[in-house]
Structure 1
Amino acid sequence: MNTIVISPEFYNYGSLVVAGILKNLKHKVNYFKGFKNKINADITFISLQSTIHLLKYQKNINSIDSFKVVGGPVTMDPSMVFKYLDVDAVMVGEAENKLENFMRKFEENKLDEIEGVILKDQKDEIPKMIHSNSLDRPLPYIPPDIKNENIRGANVYIETHRGCPGNCGFCQVPKFFGREVRSRKLNEIVNEVKEFVKMGARRIAISGGTGTLYGCKKFKEINEEAFIELLKNLSKITGKENLTIPDIRVDTVSPEIMEAISKYTNGWVFYGIESGSEKILKKMNKGIKIETVYEAVELAREHGVKVAGSFIVGYPGETEDDFEATLSLADDLMLDDYFVSIAEPIPGTPLAEEVKNLPLDKNPVFMEVNDTNVSTIAEFRALKLMLDSYVFRKIPMPMTEKLFNMILKEVKSQSKHIKTVTYMIKDMI
């Protein structure tokens, strides 16, 4: 059967896995990045990563003359997908455990018999999340130009495990992949990385939500031996300078793990710190204490590992005192790099449910502020923290007009995106 897999903006890993499985099932598969190619297929699988994609690529997707299936994180709310897109089916959550059955039932015209697949005439049904017991699968499709891809500094993000026992209110992972950690076999990960490198990929990031959860069974009972063995084996293939561990919780590290990160990777960790306010951290259901943040940052420095931190501002209920606590913490830490985001309500998360029922005038993303550069409280706080972060990082950077304008543009872009997503969630578009 002639099939096409589309990823709108970059070679996202999930769509590469889907294309690889379809090829293994002996279907003719073409993979397109973007919508410039002419679509001529029996079935088109479209992987959408962001809620905004439902609007951004609406015309492109609706014009495709094919049986269309949407997958990816947007499937947490199938009714929203069907509202904006003229597609035939939504494959909710993980796709691997449904693909073979889906293709067989498609030929038999019995798609309504597949659990976890919502058809157009079933759009109001509540999706059922079905998580795979095994992550065994064939090699993903590897694009011939993978060496030219750049996703946050990497050619590709390799999935090592799925699930997170945490339950952060802004994060989609626990519901999409479940709270039980399921780790892939080491030899399969190694073989996959070898194939990506053979095809030209140099910079590899390993991912799964929280990198150090690889091999673990229970939350915060990290499997140091499994994680270190993973890094050791992959580093032999990529070289330490081309292997990175992008995301780690501050409460899932140890001296042994930090030593391994120093020895086998490019020597960076990216901590999800989010807020300096214990009240907001509790509301986020982050499950960490401020003292743990300090300990994790100090542990990295003791092993010569550089630290980047992510912070979220404009969370519902965040007061000026809460924001000042975040500023103070960010200043005190003097990290090597900072990433600041306005709180985004991703469908399927507790944050999205709260925002859905929150009046706009109670949401910092819409609450007005008297400022010459920005118009809302969330924008003001994002701009303030971004600007200050260049001063109080470990190696300060001078604030030029060019840098200021770049930061201001980023803040306004984030704000516009999140306002649009909020309108979509509240069914105002």
Structure 2
Amino acid sequence: MRALLVNPSQLRAYGVRLSTPYPPLGLLYIAAVLRRAGVEPTFIDADLAGRQGVAGAFATLNPDLVALTATTPVFSDAEALAWQAARIAPKALRIIGGPHATADPEGVLRSGAFHAAAIGEGEETVAELVGRLRLRPSETDLEGIRGLWFRRRGDGTIVRNPRRPLISDLDNLPRPARDLLPSLASYSPPDARRSPVATIMASRGCPGRCTFCCSPAAFGGLVRYRSVGDVVAEIGEAIDRHGAREIHFADDSLTEDRQWTLELCEALHRSRFPVDYMFMNGLRVDRVDRELLESLRSIGMQNVGFGIESGSPRILANLRKGIDLDQAFDTIQLAKALGFATWCYFLFGSPGETDDTALATIDFAKRANPDFAKFFVFKPFPGTRAYRELAASGHLVRYDPDRTGIYTAPVHRVDEMEPERMMYWLRRANREFYLRPGKVIDHLRRIRSLTQLRLNLRSLRFVAGMMLRAA
């Protein structure tokens, strides 16, 4: 049996042209599961190989199974690749997983490009699917495979198999098949200080109930951790076998279990790996304290990011964020004092947004003064509470999945703010935060290497572009 795993172009995920940032960890886990099942997979990345390179892989391999993954903004690219597979390798079963398939499996299947959609965690679902196909290679009825929706052959009826329970022991999963990548150095994480970078997921899930987040739909608000020993062993493998010089944690909520996090820091401190560590995502300000941050700093963690979202308590309540702004301010100051590069994330255009709440967000960002403030327009993704509420109220005025990348223009309006006004506040926030003389001098003082100079110049170009973007 031949399986081809395809990572679609990630350009629409951002809405601006960036170097291919990270390898698709989810597909690499699927590849490892296929190997365990006795299937040697092939992997190809559309951003690295190009559309013609993917077409060549379809023709050369003539696969029995084509698997893709997609977030909402890149779904149309995944769909186009699936149709390409249908033309070149028509006997292949085409399946899609990832956040968008989990959020909207019916819409995904009604597109006609895919035979099946994996919902939630896909590893055990794909393993069962492969076993079914091997036993009955001519059988297309996939009924009974939990976590899989599919179109029945003939009439196209969508069969909705039950959800699959979450994987109870993450240590049972094989390590991601990083050897299938051209190299780790093929990817260019925008905030990396050293290359190559390996991404690690030590846990899955987040307990938060933020209205704009897809995590509850995928993981049900639970956080499950791998054992500390398993995580440390994977980091060692990424260094020894793949040459990683920096480790980026991709977890949604790594510090939710305080004791587990302290034990991880202790184990990494003992290991003395010759790498730096960074967080890809934000931490919750109410899930860290001085001891925990000091432990993270002691192992070489370079940055911490915090999802603040708004400087308005009313907007935070609307978002069900569940944080206190005074605590957020104090946590940011503590992180700065401990020597972390500090990042904060803010949104404009959240439900209930007004000019006053947008101004409060800029004021908080300037007062807290993290090293970097990342300002975004609120994006309602399928499967989230925010999407359902905005759709029901008729506020999705410009909705197009292709335009839901994080740096793209708004696809919605709120009662007291039109899309153009959201973009005004986005530009104003970047201008007021970054063009302060003290902030410019601060960034110049922090430059200690050519790598840091390169990162600062890249950030400057990016922020300048954001200030000039039209709605």
User: Kindly tell me: are residues 54 and 144 of structure 1, through their superposed partners in 2, closer, same or farther at Cα, counting changes over 3 Å?
Assistant: closer
The structure-2 alpha-carbon separation of the partners of 1:170 and 1:280, relative to structure 1 and needing over 3 Å to count, comes to same
Give the equivalent residue in structure 2 for 1:204.
247
What 5-or-longer segments of structure 1 have no aligned partner?
A: 217-221, 369-373, 416-429
Structure 2, unpaired ranges of 5+: 10-21, 399-409, 444-456
**Partners of 2:413 and 2:186 in 1: CA distance:** 41
Closer/same/farther in 2, CA of residues 58 and 384 from structure 1, 3 Å limit: same
- With normalisation by structure 1, the TM-score equals 0.85
Could you tell me which of 119, 140, 143 is aligned with 2:150?
Answer: 119
Instruction: Check whether the contact 1:245–1:265 (CA below 8 A) recurs between aligned residues.
Output: no
Question: CA shift at 1:249, angstroms?
Answer: 0.6
The answer on whether the counterparts of 2:6 and 2:67 sit within 8 Å (CA) in structure 1 is yes
Deviation digits for residues 224-243 of structure 1, max 9, x if unmatched? xx212323434646435x21
1:259 corresponds to which of 279, 294, 308: 294
Mapped to 1, the partners of 2:437 and 2:305 lie a distance apart of 14
- More deviation, 99-108/387-396: 387-396
Which structure 2 residues correspond to residues 31-46 of structure 1 after superposition, within 5 A? Answer: 31-34=43-46, 35=51, 36-37=53-54, 38-39=57-58, 40-46=62-68
Corresponding residue of 2:405:
none
TM-aligned CA distance change 1:281 to 1:237, over 3 Å: same
Task: Note if contact 2:310-2:361 (Cα within 8 Å) is conserved in structure 1.
Answer: yes
How big is each residue's C-alpha offset from its partner over 1:21-49, in whole Å with a ceiling of 9 and x where there is no partner?
Answer: 1112110210111142321200011111x
Q: CA deviation at 1:340?
A: 1.0
Q: Which amino acid aligns with 1:68?
A: R
* 2:265 aligns with one of 225, 231, 237: 231
Distance 1:105 1:401 in 2: 52
Q: Which residue of 2 aligns with 1:355?
A: 390
Asked if residue 54 in structure 1 is aligned to residue 75 in structure 2, the reply is yes
Cα drift, residue 314 of structure 1: 1.0
Q: List per-residue Cα deviations over 1:63-85 (Å, max 9, x = no partner).
A: 10221110111112112212335
Identity %: 24
Instruction: From the superposition, tell whether residues 276 and 393 of structure 1 become closer, same or farther in structure 2 (CA, over 3 Å).
Output: farther
- Is 2:404 the counterpart of 1:382? no
The alignment status of 1:93 with 2:120, answered yes or no, reads yes
| C-alpha RMSD of the superposition | 2.8
Q: Does 1:244 align with 2:286?
A: no
Distance across 1 between alignment mates of 2:209 and 2:438: 31
Note if 1:13 corresponds to 2:25.
yes
Residue aligning to 2:199: 157
Q: Which residue of 1 aligns with 2:169?
A: 134
Q: Which amino acid aligns with 2:439?
A: I
Partners of 2:237 and 2:254 in 1: CA distance: 21
Counterpart CA distance in 2 for 1:191 and 1:393 is 45
Cα gap change, 1:239 to 1:367, in 2 (>3 Å): same
Number of aligned residues: 396
1:63 maps to 2:64: no
Of stretches 316-325 and 385-394 in structure 1, the one that deviates more from structure 2 is 385-394
- For residue 322 of structure 1, give the secondary structure of its aligned residue in structure 2: helix
User: Quick one: distance in 2 between partners of 1:46 and 1:315?
Assistant: 31
The CA deviation string for residues 163-210 of structure 1, in whole angstroms up to 9 with x for no partner, is 211111111112212212110012221221222222122221113202
Q: Does the CA-based 8 Å contact 2:150-2:160 persist in structure 1? A: no
The answer to whether residue 103 in structure 2 is matched with residue 103 in structure 1 is no
Does 1 or 2 have the higher relative contact order (CA < 8 Å, sep 6+)?
2
Structure 1 position 393, deviation (Å): 9.0
